A and B are shown apart, each in its own frame.
Chain A
Amino acid sequence: MRIKAQVAMVMHLDKCIGCHTCSVTCKNTWTNRPGTEYMWFNNVETRPGPGYPKRWEDTDRYKGGWELQNGKLKLRAGGPITKLANIFYNPNMAEMEDFYEPWTYDYDNLIHSPKKENLPVARPVSEITGKYIDKPEWGSNWDDDLAGGSEIVPLDPNVEKMQEHIKMEYEKTFMMYLPRICEHCLNPSCVASCPTGALYKRDEDGIVLVDHDACRGWRFCQNGCPYHKVYYNWNTHKAEKCNFCYPRTEAGLPTICSETCVGRIRYIGVVLYDADKVKEAASVEDPQDLYEAQLSCFLDPFDPDIQEKAKEAGITDAWLEAAKESPVYKMAMKWKIALPLHPEYRTMPMVWYVPPLSPIMNHITNEDELDTDGYIPAVDQMRIPVEYLASILAADDTEVVRKVLLKLSAMRVYMRGKTVGGVDEFKQSELVKEANTTPEEIEEMARLLGIAKYDERYVIPTGRREMDDDLHYKQGTCSLEDLAPAEGVNPTFGMMKVRDNL
């Protein structure tokens, strides 16, 4: 057993209002430099829709993630030998047009235009070529809120494989938001795709990072990631990706996307896992078993035996305490209401999603008249088809999604009953049995999902610093360590190695 800690996230999709605040604060923090204009470490896409980049779920095209070949786990895009043979040209990589050509506007014209009969306009200017773009045809969130409707929606690979025809009439259609960041997978295929070994997973918190000194820009990570969350910076020729705001999480703060989330949909916590089990779990035959297999990698933070072994592995008491309080552990492992995104990619993603409830389609005009057990079949008649959610969150296993939706419905019925009556009826109902829950669990769930405060939603232990050398120096300097001299120290040649006590 090799115990490691992982900082993970849960997103409660019911609460996402699609405001893009997370994307914007993330962009302002990380990707506002030349070469990164098109990158969104965090993006919110409207589903059904092609997403960002277009059709990222089309694994036949981009060849991301893992697949089983004769029972062995292999990169879909090919192993090291295939990659070295193809190193001069990557056929599977997404191009700029799969994302979009980033542009700004010629605002200057609004101010400096000479007096004319017509109002001056700010024409779109490409941030790549500096030329005018006469007609932008795709951009970030071009298809927001189902814009493009019946022309754009069928591009969604999940829709393509659905048996049922998706209705696009306004009254009958459905829509949900899917915020996405890097999954910081337990079995990251981007890391395995990197020929130079520049990508790595951190021992301490499981965050997947790129070593920019080592990165040589071979680009296999870009499409090696089935979620397309590694980007190629055309300016520096290096890979860039979401870093889970590690400077913030190391200080015990939530990522900037979580911090600024208006709907408070995000939860961050620590989970313990057994790194030795990951490969075996990712290699199970049936993709629908991957969810359970992934759950089997996690360790119970309340088990004294596990605590003992975790301490031996160098995990501190603060982290063990945080693992007990972890909202992620509660939602994903204990209550099983959060599901991994596309488990069939076999990367063991660590950003989990609570699927959204949606209005019940048929027959129910007055909810007061619906008896408690009436909610059981209603789960299958929700506007967002269970098959669609299952395609995204459960490798097409509708039963997994159904269970979660039942539990969430049960929570809703119970909490409603507490105000308008019906709790006793609920306790005897088929619903509570079918949802496999108890009033106590529901109360706890309702608190965490509904009214949990900042320190309940984000339980993040600080990174270890006590063994760092020269803490005093670090306390007094900014993040430009080794680049800029400390305050009061004269810059030396090239500003390198200003510390004389090392």
Chain B
Amino acid sequence: MADIFWWVIFPYITLTIMILGLLYRYAFRQLTWAAPSTNFFEKKWLRIGSPLFHYGIVFAFIGHVMGMVIPMEFYQALGISDHLYHMGAIWGGGLAGLMVVAGLIILLIRKMTIDPVRIKAGFADFFSVLALLFVAGTGTYMTIIFNTMVIEYEYRETIGPWFRSLFVFMPKYELMSGVPFIFKLHVVSAFALFASIPFTRLVHIFSFPIKYPARPPQQYRSRSNYRKQGL
């Protein structure tokens, strides 16, 4: 029963909260949708912390796509041995994880010590950083320490297929029963973090301006689209 809760009900509930929350905020609270920067208040520490964290998390995201979304058979077909894959994952993922954790710690200390930044930060802001730190911390621990000291765990046989099965609405929850606790903790905390996204500053993930290079530099808008109305 516990397995069904954690690996079926919980992920779907959290993802539902995330999607509905995002839709609601986009439709009705778009005025609050921004990347809430404190660049204006402080620059020195942000210069180190922010790119470190953000680039780290972009790399980590790519790593998760490689590990969770792309099936193991794909790598085997390419002739990449399991050992080679894990070396890549430990080095690449470990580096990304360390970047994320180091960046987050710098940002957290900055948030706690720089006066205007602390005073203007709300509960949700601290929550986001702490939650990210927890998720990234467990992830980095798994990658760097657990995988090298305890066991080189083959998550591509359990967590990966389970994760993919969520999206075809046939969750293979039984795959998760034998997964080491630390991995379970990472997954559950990550899903909890997803649920919080619509209510925090993290919404800005979804507004990365990917179309910017493609648009003309100057933007004109008509006050009331008179042309469309057949001027």
Which residues of A are at the interface with B, using a C-beta cutoff of 8 A?
A: 4, 75, 79-81, 83-84, 87-91, 93, 95-96, 128-131, 187-188, 191-192, 194-197, 199-205, 211-213, 215-219, 232, 234-238, 275, 314, 463-464, 467-468, 494, 496
Task: Report how far A90 CA is from B229 CA in the complex, Å.
Answer: 41
- A186 smallest CB distance to B (angstroms): 9
Cross-chain contact B212 with A84 (CB below 8 angstroms): yes
Task: Report how far A314 CA is from B223 CA in the complex, Å.
Answer: 13
Question: What secondary structure prevails in chain B residues at the interface with A?
Answer: loop
Cross-chain contact B47 with A314 (CB below 8 angstroms): no
Task: Report how far A91 CA is from B51 CA in the complex, Å.
Answer: 11
B residues in contact with A80, CB < 8 Å: 212-213
A sample of 25 inter-chain contacts (CB < 8 A) reads A80-B213, A84-B212, A87-B209, A88-B50, A89-B47, A91-B47, A95-B42, A128-B116, A191-B217, A191-B218, A192-B217, A197-B209, A197-B219, A200-B220, A200-B221, A201-B218, A202-B223, A203-B222, A204-B222, A216-B207, A219-B40, A237-B35, A237-B37, A238-B31, A464-B226
Cross-chain contact B41 with A95 (CB below 8 angstroms): yes
What is the chain A residue whose CB lies nearest that of B32?
Answer: A236
- A94 smallest CB distance to B (angstroms): 8
Task: Report how far A235 CA is from B38 CA in the complex, Å.
Answer: 10
Q: Mark B36-54, 1 if CB is under 8 A from A, else 0.
A: 1111111100110011011
Cross-chain contact A217 with B34 (CB below 8 angstroms): yes
Cross-chain contact B34 with A215 (CB below 8 angstroms): yes
B177 contacts A by Cβ under 8 Å: no
B33 contacts A by Cβ under 8 Å: yes
Cross-chain contact B223 with A217 (CB below 8 angstroms): no
Cross-chain contact B224 with A468 (CB below 8 angstroms): yes
What is the chain A residue whose CB lies nearest that of B53?
Answer: A88
What is the chain B residue whose CB lies nearest that of A74?
Answer: B217
- B208 smallest CB distance to A (angstroms): 8
Cross-chain contact B40 with A96 (CB below 8 angstroms): yes
B227 contacts A by Cβ under 8 Å: yes
B residues in contact with A314, CB < 8 Å: 226-227, 231
B residues in contact with A88, CB < 8 Å: 50-51, 53-55
- B96 smallest CB distance to A (angstroms): 15
Cross-chain contact A234 with B218 (CB below 8 angstroms): no
A residues in contact with B212, CB < 8 Å: 80, 83-84, 195-197
Task: Report how far A203 CA is from B31 CA in the complex, Å.
Answer: 24
B28 contacts A by Cβ under 8 Å: yes
Cross-chain contact A217 with B37 (CB below 8 angstroms): yes
Question: What secondary structure prevails in chain A residues at the interface with B?
Answer: loop
A residues in contact with B226, CB < 8 Å: 314, 464, 467
Of B28, B209, B229, which contacts A195 at CB under 8 A?
Answer: B209
A residues in contact with B211, CB < 8 Å: 197
Task: Report how far A231 CA is from B217 CA in the complex, Å.
Answer: 20
Cross-chain contact A219 with B39 (CB below 8 angstroms): yes
Cross-chain contact B209 with A84 (CB below 8 angstroms): yes
A residues in contact with B217, CB < 8 Å: 75, 191-192
Of B35, B40, B53, which contacts A95 at CB under 8 A?
Answer: B40
Cross-chain contact A96 with B220 (CB below 8 angstroms): no
Cross-chain contact B41 with A217 (CB below 8 angstroms): no
Q: Mark B19-36, 1 if CB is under 8 A from A, else 0.
A: 000000000101111111
- A37 smallest CB distance to B (angstroms): 12
What is the chain B residue whose CB lies nearest that of A212?
Answer: B31
Cross-chain contact A236 with B116 (CB below 8 angstroms): no
B residues in contact with A93, CB < 8 Å: 39-40, 43
What is the chain B residue whose CB lies nearest that of A187?
Answer: B218
The 8 closest A-B pairs by CB, nearest first: A195-B209, A192-B217, A217-B34, A237-B34, A80-B213, A88-B54, A200-B219, A237-B36
What is the chain A residue whose CB lies nearest that of B219?
Answer: A200
- B59 smallest CB distance to A (angstroms): 13
Of B41, B54, B115, B204, which contacts A216 at CB under 8 A?
Answer: B204
Cross-chain contact B213 with A129 (CB below 8 angstroms): no
Within 8 A of A (CB), among B188-224: 204, 207-209, 211-213, 215, 217-224
Cross-chain contact A234 with B120 (CB below 8 angstroms): yes
Task: Report how far A96 CA is from B42 CA in the complex, Å.
Answer: 8
B residues in contact with A215, CB < 8 Å: 34
What is the chain B residue whose CB lies nearest that of A205?
Answer: B223
Of B31, B55, B218, which contacts A188 at CB under 8 A?
Answer: B218
A residues in contact with B42, CB < 8 Å: 95
B residues in contact with A89, CB < 8 Å: 39, 46-47, 50-51
A residues in contact with B209, CB < 8 Å: 84, 87, 195-197, 216, 218
- A199 smallest CB distance to B (angstroms): 7
Best-surrounded residue of A216, A238, A275, A463 (most CB of chain B within 10 A): A216
Cross-chain contact B34 with A203 (CB below 8 angstroms): no
Task: Report how far A194 CA is from B207 CA in the complex, Å.
Answer: 13
Best-surrounded residue of B39, B40, B53, B207 (most CB of chain A within 10 A): B40
